[in-house]
Structure formats: structure tokens, C-alpha cells
Amino acid sequence: MNPAPTQLTTAPANATSSASTEPIAVGQKRDSSLKPAAVSNFIRQVIEADNASGKHGGKVVTRFPPEPNGYLHIGHAKSICVNFGLAQDYNGVCHLRFDDTNPVKEDVEYEDSIKEMVRWLGYSFDGHLYYASDYFSKLYEFAEHFIERGLAYVDSQSPEEMRANRGTFETPGTNSPFRDRSVSENLALFREMREGKHADGAHVLRLKIDMASPNINLRDPAIYRIRHTAHHRTGTTWCVYPLYDYTHCISDALERITHSLCTLEFEAHRPLYDWVLARLVESGKLTLPSPQQIEFARLNLTYTVMSKRKLIELVETGLVNGWDDPRLWTLAGLRRRGYTPASIRLFAERTGASKAHQWVDMIELERALREDLDATAARAMVVLDPIRVVIENWPEGHVELCSAPVHPHDESRGRRTFEISREVFIEREDFMEIPSKGFFRLVPGGEVRLRYGYIIKCERVEKDENGRVTTIVASYDPATKSGTQGGRNVKGAIHWVSRSDAIAAEVRLYDRLFTVENPDEGDGDYKDYVNPNSLQTVRAWCEPTLASAAADQSYQFERNGYFTPDRVDSKAGALVFNRAATLKDGWKP
């Protein structure tokens, strides 16, 4: 069982940054630069202690080191926001470094998409874009240095032998029969490896640390392997490639990273990280202070799977429509769905950085979005499931203009105008022939206000042969126009659009992609929990102001949620909207 997912009910206490300390209330007016209240996390405490002691001369240099072998997801966004966010808060810099040590899996397409999404989140890496492959020469030079000092050897065991001799958590490993090769033999062999004289897998270069260490990572870890594969940046220059643990700490040191933040599964790798750097400092190859590795818990979000393999599988098996399917929690998917960078930064900040394993409820992500959009999104009326209303005492051909604020709390954004005419559309669910208790919207013989328009009364209904209501015949009270003096009010007010100026749109309504909180749990395959009803498409009628809606613009469709034009499929004249989120508390008629 996983621990119950966290719902963050209050703004975090102990805000330490001047960014913003006010608690965030839903519905509160904000500008679009929504700044999250800074969470007091333990990483800030480390940085502040280092700044106080002058360890790094007051500098903060972090890095985000993705492997270009997949698209970024919300878990990566968390890491991006922690790294870039901390750098920003302490006037430091954050490097984007592609961990491109594995020539087999990497791809330029992924690289481009990663850069695009980091920028989209609002962070700049101008002048600070790096590649682990930039250091291949240096890493090789250092490897020879380790050999010369008797701290590395070429092992010619088969991969199976190496695995068997590694030992287990309970039992120590066994020294390789090649462990005591002479320095000159090791150097000669390593150079032959580099020159391409040996096949993939024939040898590896290993550090000579301790095969009996209780920490398996210190049992002579391999640091170089042979791969006769071209690399997308270095071409065929190399046929030996450095492994992650060795590359990562040295890359950090060469870039003079101060705080190297990673997820908890690297905790047991930290002694190796420190060992490699300490040896290079000893011989003057690197200088102090060394970067400090700090681990925090990875983000787990309910109703998602984060593994790259599973994401790839979802896309490749067609369970979703591509990497940017709005049901996915990839950043490309979230952006297309209508998530804003500010909402993702807010979410990342709120979920904090801690050592405790963390499951966060999907509700938190949705809440962060609503908070941002409630303050910023223009309002519009859209009827998702239309039913026709004919106002019989409205003169044929007569049209009047109505108006409503673009944003209810910001008059400076002006007003939107739309028509009202003899025929309007309302939401089918806003009418009940036999009303349930507490239903204050339209009922036979009852009145309701068309928001920003008039009060209408249902006189009778027309039905088709199946008994389904096809038309509501109504009357209106000419003395009740919104915004005019002397108007009276009724309990219910509903949204609507006029047949005379409404524009049609396709609207895509999403539900969670999985039916269970943790698709990875349980006995079945996670794919068994895919929600067959995660996408519902409807034909809607929209108020005319939406004709100019452009991707990256968010709207609150009154009472229906937050929507954005689909950046791929929506075109002028053929609008397609995605619902990013429903309205939290629903609309109380």
C-alpha cells in the first residue's frame, strides 16, 4: 500500500522567500505572474547555511540533467521548478545539462522538446546549456588518471560473471581475477578499447574501491563500457562511453555546480559521487569546494504512471493520441490541455521538497490551475449540451445587445457583447420537467434569469416521439433586463447563447486516464485500468467573442470550467476547445 496521497489544504507555513507570503485563497484576484508562497524546504536551509558560512562564496548553481530519451512529465516539472526556482530565489543560475552518455537511446527530437518545455515553464538557460558529451575528453583523461593511480582497472569478465561476483545486500562481492592487472596493462587495454580494437561487452573499466563494501555502489563500479555506436553529437569519435555515476559527479564539478539536487534513489550513490570527486581533488584535477549532492523525494501523482517505459507504451499502443494527448501528464499534454506554466510552478512549489516519500493527489494539480485561471481567464458563455428555447412574446427578427464583464473582478478588461433574440440555447440540464427538491433553474411554469439578459418563464415544452424535450417555449419579462433600473430577481440564473450570433465549436471533455489512484499497484497490468470514458466530445454553442480565441488563451466558460483552444486542431471557423478543469465548487444557481 502507498501512503494516502497528500491533499494540501492550506498554504504552507514558514514562507522564507520574499516572493510571496500571502496565503492563496481560491477566487482571490491575482495577476498573471502568480507567485507561489515559498515552501520552507530543507534544501533552502542547506543553501542558507552554505551562504552564511561562505562555502561557495554565496553562489548558487544548480542543474537540471535530463536524459534525452523521452518527453518531460509533471515529475520532471517538479525537478525543473526546484532547480530553476531555487537558483532564481538565491540569485543563482541553473544549468540545463543533457545527460547524453548513452548513444543508443537518445534523440534530437526529445532534446528539442525538453528545451521547449523548460522555456515554456518560464525558465531560461541562455548561456547555460550543457551536454555531458562536452566532457567526453575530460572524462577519458580522468579515467586514465584513475588507472595511473591504481584506482581503476580493465575487467574482462563476462557481464554474467560480473553480476555473480558483485554479491548481494547480505553477502560481499568477490574480487575479479583481473583486478590486479598492472597499471601499464590496464592503460594499454583501455587505449585499445578506445581505439575500437574490442567488441561491445568484451571489457569494462572499473574503479578499484572495495568489493566487500556494504554499499553495492562502491563495489568497483564500472565507469566505461564499449559501444560501437555513433552518438548524435560526437558522431563516431568514441566507441567507449562513460557511465552515469562517473559522468554525473564530474560534470557537476566541471560546471562548478554548488548544489546537485536529485531524487532519493540516488542517496546510496552519494558515497561514490563524493569518492570520485575527492580523488580528483587530491591530485589537483579538480578544486574545492566540490558540489554537494542533495536528495529529495520524487513526485508521485495519483491517477498517473511516471515511468518513461510506460508512457512510451501508452503512446505506442495508441491508448492515447500521441505525446501531447491532453489526458497525459507530460508537459506537452498538460500544455495542450490548457495548463498554464504559472499553475505548474505553483503546484511544484506547494508540494515542496522533502525526504519523505510523497504521493500527491491529482486534485492539487487541478486546484493550482483553477487558482491561476480564476484570476486570469476571460469569461465566456458556452452551452455544451444545448436545448432550444423559443421566446414566443419576443418579436420575430428583433435582436438586442447584452453585455458582461470580460473578468468579473477586473473592470479594466472591458466588457464583451453578444445578442439576445427570439431563439436561445440553454444547457439541457438547466431544465427539469419534474424538478427535484432545491432545483432553482427552469421548470414548467417557473422563471429563471438568462444571465446578463432577461428573466424568462417556461410556458410549455415540445417533445419528439420518444418523449424527449426538443424545444422549450418561453416568455420573457421586458422589464427585467440585466443592468437596468427597477429589475426584479429570481433564484436561478443560467448561461445561454443566442441563436442569432452563436458560433459552433467542438469541445473535448476529459476525465482521468486511469480509473484507480495508483495504476501501478494491484495485481493487473496498469493498462487494465485505463478509463474507457476519458474523452468525451460534444458540439457546443459559444458566444461570438470566442471566434477570435487563440491557443494559449484560457477561458472560463461560465459554470462549465476552464477551457483553451486546442493548439493542434483548433482553427478560425472550426474551433476546438479542451476542458482543462472543471470549476471547483460548481456553480450554485
Cis peptide before 289 (omega within 30 of 0): yes
In the bound state, the residue with its beta carbon closest to ligand ATP is 75
Pick from 36, 60, 61, 65 the residue near ligand ATP by CB under 6 A.
Answer: 65
Grid cell for residue 465: 416521439
CB of 209 to ligand ATP, least distance (A): 23
Whose Cβ is closer to ligand ATP: residue 66's or residue 242's?
Answer: 66
Facing residues of 420 across strands? 400
Residue listed under C-alpha cell 582497472:
153
| Contact call for residues 241 and 103 (beta carbons, < 8 A) | yes
Whose Cβ is closer to ligand ATP: residue 176's or residue 300's?
Answer: 300
- Between CA 9 and CA 446 the distance in angstroms is 40
Amino acid symbol at 352: G
Whose Cβ is closer to ligand ATP: residue 259's or residue 457's?
Answer: 259
Q: Please identify, among the stretches 63-71, 144-152, 342-350, 517-525, the one whose residues bind ligand ATP according to the rule CB under 6 A.
A: 63-71
CB of 361 to ligand ATP, least distance (A): 15
DSSP label of 154:
E
The CA-based angle 460-463-469, given to 5 degrees, is 80
User: How far is residue 142 from each of residues 101, 111, 183, 277, 529, measured CA to CA in Å?
Assistant: 16, 27, 14, 11, 49
Q: Please identify, among the stretches 65-73, 151-159, 527-535, 541-549, the one whose residues bind ligand ATP according to the rule CB under 6 A.
A: 65-73
Collapsing DSSP to helix, strand or coil, 571 comes out as: strand
Strand (E) or helix (H) holding 342: helix 341-351
Whose Cβ is closer to ligand ATP: residue 101's or residue 578's?
Answer: 101
Marked catalytic residue, from 138, 179, 308, 413? 308
Question: Which residues within the stretch 308-337 sit at the binding site for ligand ATP (CB under 6 A)?
Answer: 308
Pick from 81, 262, 280, 513 the residue near ligand ATP by CB under 6 A.
Answer: 262
CB of 257 to ligand ATP, least distance (A): 12
CB of 539 to ligand ATP, least distance (A): 38
Counting contacts by CB under 6 A, is residue 115 touching ligand ATP?
Answer: no
- Between CA 63 and CA 405 the distance in angstroms is 44
CB of 328 to ligand ATP, least distance (A): 14
Whose Cβ is closer to ligand ATP: residue 191's or residue 298's?
Answer: 298
CB of 360 to ligand ATP, least distance (A): 10
Grid cell for residue 395: 418579436
517 in active site: no
Number of Cβ atoms within 10 Å of the Cβ of 111: 18
User: Taking the mean position of all CA atoms in its chain, how far away is CA 527?
Assistant: 21
CB of 83 to ligand ATP, least distance (A): 8
Rounded to 5 degrees, what are φ and ψ at 460?
-170, 170
CB of 399 to ligand ATP, least distance (A): 54
Counting contacts by CB under 6 A, is residue 264 touching ligand ATP?
Answer: no
Marked catalytic residue, from 67, 144, 148, 313? 67
| Contact call for residues 272 and 247 (beta carbons, < 8 A) | no
Q: Please identify, among the stretches 68-76, 325-333, 339-347, 491-499, the one whose residues bind ligand ATP according to the rule CB under 6 A.
A: 68-76
Pick from 263, 475, 500, 553 the residue near ligand ATP by CB under 6 A.
Answer: 263
- Between CA 530 and CA 552 the distance in angstroms is 28
- Between CA 558 and CA 427 the distance in angstroms is 12
Rounded to 5 degrees, what are φ and ψ at 577?
-115, 145
CB of 385 to ligand ATP, least distance (A): 37
* Count of positions on this chain that bind ligand ATP (CB under 6 A): 14
Marked catalytic residue, from 298, 413, 451, 584? 298
Strand (E) or helix (H) holding 315: helix 308-316
Q: Please identify, among the stretches 298-306, 457-465, 496-504, 568-576, the one whose residues bind ligand ATP according to the rule CB under 6 A.
A: 298-306
The closest alpha carbon to 266, from 355, 206, 134, belongs to 355
Amino acid symbol at 445: G
Counting contacts by CB under 6 A, is residue 67 touching ligand ATP?
Answer: yes
Grid cell for residue 175: 574480487
Interface mask (CB under 6 A) for ligand ATP, residues 72-101, using x and -? ---xx-xx----------------------
Whose Cβ is closer to ligand ATP: residue 299's or residue 497's?
Answer: 299
Q: Please identify, among the stretches 39-47, 71-79, 511-519, 559-567, the one whose residues bind ligand ATP according to the rule CB under 6 A.
A: 71-79
Counting contacts by CB under 6 A, is residue 221 touching ligand ATP?
Answer: no
Whose Cβ is closer to ligand ATP: residue 418's or residue 526's?
Answer: 526
In the chain, what's the furthest Cα-to-Cα distance?
Answer: 102
Whose Cβ is closer to ligand ATP: residue 347's or residue 496's?
Answer: 347
Whose Cβ is closer to ligand ATP: residue 231's or residue 422's?
Answer: 231
559 in active site: no
Sign of the four-CA dihedral 345, 351, 354, 355: negative
Counting contacts by CB under 6 A, is residue 66 touching ligand ATP?
Answer: yes
- Between CA 312 and CA 302 the distance in angstroms is 19
* CB neighbour list of residue 183: distance below 8 Å, 6 or more residues apart: 147, 148, 150
User: How far is residue 222 from each of residues 151, 317, 339, measured CA to CA in Å?
Assistant: 12, 35, 42
* CB neighbour list of residue 213: distance below 8 Å, 6 or more residues apart: 172, 219
Whose Cβ is closer to ligand ATP: residue 262's or residue 424's?
Answer: 262
Pick from 299, 320, 328, 581 the residue near ligand ATP by CB under 6 A.
Answer: 299
437 in active site: no
- Between CA 218 and CA 209 the distance in angstroms is 6
CB of 299 to ligand ATP, least distance (A): 4
Annotated active-site positions, please?
67, 298, 308
Point out which residues bind ligand ATP (CB under 6 A): 65-67, 69, 75-76, 78-79, 262-263, 298-299, 306, 308
